[in-house]
Amino acid sequence: MSTIILGIESSCDDTSAAIIRDEWLLSNLISTQKVHEEYGGVVPELASRAHQVNIIPVVDRAIKQANITIEDISAVAFTRGPGLLGSLLVGSSFAKGFALAQDIPLIEVNHLHGHILSHFIKTSAHGKHPNYPFLCLLVSGGHTQLVLVESYKKMSIVGKTIDDAAGEAFDKCAKVMGLGYPGGPVVDKLAVKGNKDAFEFAKPLPHGLDFSFSGLKTSFLYFLRDQLKDSPNFVEENKEDLCASLQHTIVTILMDKLVNASRKYGIKEIAIAGGVAANSALRSAILETGKKLGWNTYIPELEFTTDNAAMIAIVGYFKYLEKDFAGHDLIPQARLPF
């Protein structure tokens, strides 16, 4: 008999529900919250309220699109953290209520494990997954980590940012250029038309496998401030080049550490995950470097890079097989340890 998992993801500003049958994806619905755009960042209280409005319709659509009935669902998996507490509360309360009503097991999932294991979601277009042990560069709006993955539940962080996350560097620099929120996708798009060598920004490379992005952000800000004194239209006139140079700097920092980690651990199974894994320059850099260094590279489909419930459901599936269930007394945690 097949195992069907309903996954719920509500850690930040996207409400998502997905259905997985064994490792195969049947549906993955994401309701993006537009309400934050005018504020230039996620407003936590508004996010919780939007999750409350969205969650039932999104789950309903995910079930219908998967062409199953509620009774077919074997277990419900939800994001316990890390994330915004109010947002996590909506998803976890819904999951508990659903599990109770259907009398099925409840499974807690760490959001970051979800990003890393998103490579194991099978779709008609995608069936290849990394072999253990593999190295994963996890890059999102809140996290930048190099993770050594030995099994679906044995993972250790071997390098991390000592200040800002890579996604934050994209978002904050985009914000000062007036490009809106989230900035990463806009920078990516504009960078295509720009010259990556037009400007040079600080490239801090702290010791070992750790990352740092706050110095880059500061050097970007100071550079713009100086230029704007003499030419008020500087950003408008140089948008493409600024984006290309900024993106190139971020990608170079990420790749430098990834290459070092691969050498240090002697691992050539290399994956990327998280929202910034959608970045076109990072995706090509991984492929190019991988070819040169003989890596097997794993790049997630765009749908599974940013927050989605399919990645929560796949972890739920692995936990279900081991009967690793959660109690109903479990509470979400904004800073859930890795």
| Interface ranges with Zn ion (CB under 5 A) | 140, 307
d(CA 150, CA 134): 7
Q: Which is nearer to ligand KG4, 99 or 253 (CB)?
A: 253
Q: Does 87 bind ligand KG4 (CB under 6 A)?
A: no
164 binds, among ligand KG4, Zn ion, none (CB under 5 to 8 A by kind): none
Instruction: Using DSSP, state whether 213 is helix, strand or coil.
Output: coil
Q: Which is nearer to ligand KG4, 83 or 105 (CB)?
A: 83
Min. distance of Cβ 272 from ligand KG4 in angstroms? 11
Which residue is associated with the tokens 């097997």? Answer: 296
Task: Fill in the per-residue mask, 232 to 271: x = in contact with ligand KG4 (CB under 6 A), - = not in contact.
Answer: ----------------------------------------
91 binds, among Zn ion, ligand KG4, none (CB under 5 to 8 A by kind): none
Whether 27 contacts 309, CB under 8 Å: no
CB atoms under 10 Å from CB of 171, counted, come to: 24
Min. distance of Cβ 330 from Zn ion in angstroms? 20
Q: Which is nearer to Zn ion, 159 or 167 (CB)?
A: 167
Min. distance of Cβ 308 from ligand KG4 in angstroms? 8
| Residue choice 147, 279, 311, 336 for contact with ligand KG4 (CB under 6 A) | 279
CA angle 275, 167, 295 (to 5 degrees): 60
Q: Which two tokens stand for residue 324?
A: 């690793």
Q: Which two tokens stand for residue 219?
A: 């050097």
The residue type at 303: E
d(CA 105, CA 327): 9
Whether 18 contacts 313, CB under 8 Å: yes
241 binds, among Zn ion, ligand KG4, none (CB under 5 to 8 A by kind): none
d(CA 166, CA 169): 5
Q: Which is nearer to ligand KG4, 148 or 187 (CB)?
A: 187
Q: Which two tokens stand for residue 99?
A: 């599990």
d(CA 148, CA 135): 5
Q: Let me know if 172 is exposed, middle or buried by CB neighbors in 10 A (0-12, 13-18, 19+).
A: buried
| Residue choice 47, 278, 285, 336 for contact with ligand KG4 (CB under 6 A) | 278
How many residues touch ligand KG4 under the rule CB under 6 A: the total is 19
Min. distance of Cβ 172 from ligand KG4 in angstroms? 9
Q: Which is nearer to Zn ion, 107 or 277 (CB)?
A: 277
Interface of this chain with ligand KG4, residues 125 to 184, rule: CB under 6 A: 140-142, 167, 170-171, 182-184
Interface of this chain with ligand KG4, residues 291 to 310, rule: CB under 6 A: 306-307
d(CA 34, CA 14): 10
Q: Which is nearer to ligand KG4, 30 or 73 (CB)?
A: 30
Q: Say if strands 14-21 and 24-32 run parallel, antiparallel, or are unpaired.
A: antiparallel
Min. distance of Cβ 327 from ligand KG4 in angstroms? 26
- The beta strands (E) that lie in 89-154 are given as 106-110, 134-139, 144-149
Residues that bind ligand KG4 (CB under 6 A): 12, 140-142, 167, 170-171, 182-185, 188, 274-276, 278-279, 306-307
